[in-house]
Structure 1
Amino acid sequence: MPYPKPLREQVVVITGASSGMGREMAHKFAAQGAAVVLAARNEGALEMVALEIRQNGGTAHVVPTDVTSWDQVEMLAQEAITVFGRIDTWINDAAVAIYATVEETDPEEFHQLLHVNLLGTIYGSKAALARMKAQGYGTIINFGSVLSERAVPLQAAYVASKHGVKGFTEALRLEVMREKLPIHVTLVLPAGVNTPFFEHARSKIEVKPQPLPPVYQPEAIADTVVYAAQHPRRDLHVGGASWMFTVLQRISPALMDRFMLLGDLGARGQKTKEPDEGRDNLFKPISEPGRVHGEFAHLTKPSLYARLVEMQPAWTRLVLPTVLAAGLFLLRRR
């Protein structure tokens, strides 16, 4: 059968669907006619998302899931098969964050974050892969970050997890390609996004954290992922800052180190002036109905890069970045 299918014929599983990018992706996929399976720890927030989707004529099924549990992730996959008969696209978006130095981060905090962000992605990919091999097709979309490419201070645990997601996704892709399976594996690398993710983070920096500017709206990331579910991509940089940081990191990591330390930009740019409220979702969900947007609309800018490059034919995606990278390389030499 032709694959990928049109969105109106797809069944899409989304972890981290109760809030932020996951919640927005659920709405975008449902609006295109896909049946969405919503997973997160906050069942009440998931039910709100499902209600909103159904009120707009869409199809949604809720499966409360803690991605740190292999048994629960396996149950999520099986529930999708039981209810809808297949899984066309599986999106691993669940994540948590800690803002603290390495010295300030407790071992159990490192363990929990890596279990959610990295092992949760591994569990989801493994559960999806088994079903997709059985049905003969599918798409797995894993969420890395610009921090999969470039480290920043105060987020060592998160950076480690997203570097791990990138490496795991590349290895999984090679195994699928080696077996010549019609299964697509995509890594999404967004820059900072205006979602409640930062309000939900554990903070030991005395103030509320914020995404390192420039920041993009979650709609831009959701649009790109919906596009990728029909037009397979290897990697998707969302936000020109994501691509720029990646290019600069590959040209000169030492230069990027100096840039991060210039005026303490790497740390200062992640801090608001508001005191931290002392609540987070590291070990358990925050009791709230959930929402898509965060408090950083004043830092946002349009994401033209994804629409002009990532969502274009292959020759465009190759030519424009190559020209820009060459220009940056020549500028550095000069």
Structure 2
Amino acid sequence: MSRTVVVTGATSGIGRAAAQAFAARGDRLVLAARSPEALDQVRAECRAVGATVLTVPTDVTDSARVEELADTAEREFGRIDVWAHTAAVMAYGRFEEIPERVFEQVIRTDLLGAAVVAREALRRLRATGGGTLVLTGSVLGHITAPYMSAYVASKWGLHGLVRTLQQEGRDRPDVRICLVSPGSVDTPVYQQAANHLGWAGRPPPPATDARRVARAVLDCVDRPRREVSVGRLNGLMRLGFTVLPGTYDVLVGPLMRRVGLTGERTPPHDGVVFAPAPAGSAVRGGWGSGLTGLVRLVRNLRSG
């Protein structure tokens, strides 16, 4: 049966892959992101497979715009059945060297923006008889990595928020809340990240294909679960972080410098933290995934 699905963060990476996947199975789509130009591209892709699509330029940090987004979806399609939230930005740098305005905007987008969306989505789903809210977390909501303090703080906060919402929502089993937590993913978010570190970032191999994470999002809609982890090394990293914290802290810095940075120098810049870059929007970031990424990891470690 066709559902009405709102996707926030629909123009790049996991969000774009999820929009395409929902479209392919015939759902009605309401797509939201900051860039009208990039939204037009995704709308064309989804309409090409026969989906009914609306686009609503939206900044998730603006509660009034998120409310307008929900109003539009209900006005056009009667109700919202699914809300998939994937919008996120990233910044590289030592904590004391990231400008305060950049750090706070990452938190504002990745944590407070997710809270804005969750508040609006849950209000609508409860008013219309139920549905599913899927939020996108990260393995960095369970572990830490140097040079990514704002993103890590946001994802830890998001994990805590989702668990709390799940606890508070036990009296409404018709409203399902799911968290999809990927590890390293081949998306453009690394190229688009703010950088005040001096070295460009990349997804530590082996990176997961964004379409695999999108499938996990759709699977949560069909078979809701508290949290789904996507990534070959997620469990190992979480185990090391929890069971051997001292060893983890010794190793994570050198590993991050070896496999989480490219070695390419970059001047300080704010990436897409404050404004979108439509030309950089895509499903993949071009980093490679799966076996290719694992081979790259082994080569990097050997060369070190």
- Which of 242, 252, 260 in structure 2 is aligned with 1:260? 252
1:162 aligns with 2:155: yes
8 Å Cα contact 1:152-1:267 kept in structure 2? no
1:249 aligns with 2:241: yes
For 1:105, give the aligned amino acid.
Answer: I
Match of 2:196 in 1: 204
8 Å Cα contact 1:90-1:141 kept in structure 2? yes
8 Å Cα contact 1:44-1:289 kept in structure 2? no
CA deviation profile, 1:157-195 (whole Å, cap 9, x unmatched): 000000000000000111101x23411111111011001
Match of 1:290 in 2: 281
CA deviation profile, 1:3-41 (whole Å, cap 9, x unmatched): xxxxx4211111110111100100001101111111100
Mapping 1:1-334, distance limit 5 Å: 8-177=1-170, 179-261=171-253, 264-276=254-266, 278=269, 280-288=271-279, 290-297=281-288, 299-301=289-291
8 Å Cα contact 1:195-1:218 kept in structure 2? yes
Match of 1:330 in 2: none
8 Å Cα contact 1:92-1:121 kept in structure 2? yes
TM-aligned CA distance change 1:10 to 1:87, over 3 Å: same
CA distance in structure 2 between the aligned counterparts of 1:28 and 1:180, rounded to whole angstroms: 28
For 1:229, give the aligned amino acid.
Answer: V
For 2:247, give the aligned amino acid.
Answer: L
Helix, strand or coil at the partner of 1:13 = strand
- Among all aligned residue pairs of Structure 1 and Structure 2, give the percentage whose two residues are the same amino acid: 35
Give 5+ residue unaligned stretches, structure 2: 294-304
Structure 1 position 56, deviation (Å): 1.7
Aligned length in residues:
292
CA distance in structure 2 between the aligned counterparts of 1:165 and 1:270, rounded to whole angstroms: 23
8 Å Cα contact 1:216-1:302 kept in structure 2? no
For 2:129, give the aligned amino acid.
Answer: G
CA distance in structure 1 between the aligned counterparts of 2:79 and 2:101, rounded to whole angstroms: 37
Match of 2:298 in 1: none
For 2:161, give the aligned amino acid.
Answer: F
8 Å Cα contact 2:102-2:270 kept in structure 1? no
CA distance in structure 2 between the aligned counterparts of 1:250 and 1:213, rounded to whole angstroms: 21
For 1:108, give the aligned amino acid.
Answer: R
RMSD of the TM alignment (CA)?
Answer: 1.7
Give 5+ residue unaligned stretches, structure 1: 1-7, 304-334
8 Å Cα contact 2:192-2:280 kept in structure 1? no
For 1:249, give the aligned amino acid.
Answer: F
CA deviation profile, 1:83-136 (whole Å, cap 9, x unmatched): 111111111110000000001111111111111000111010100011111111
Match of 1:322 in 2: none
8 Å Cα contact 1:43-1:64 kept in structure 2? yes
CA deviation profile, 1:200-233 (whole Å, cap 9, x unmatched): 0011222321012221111110111111111111
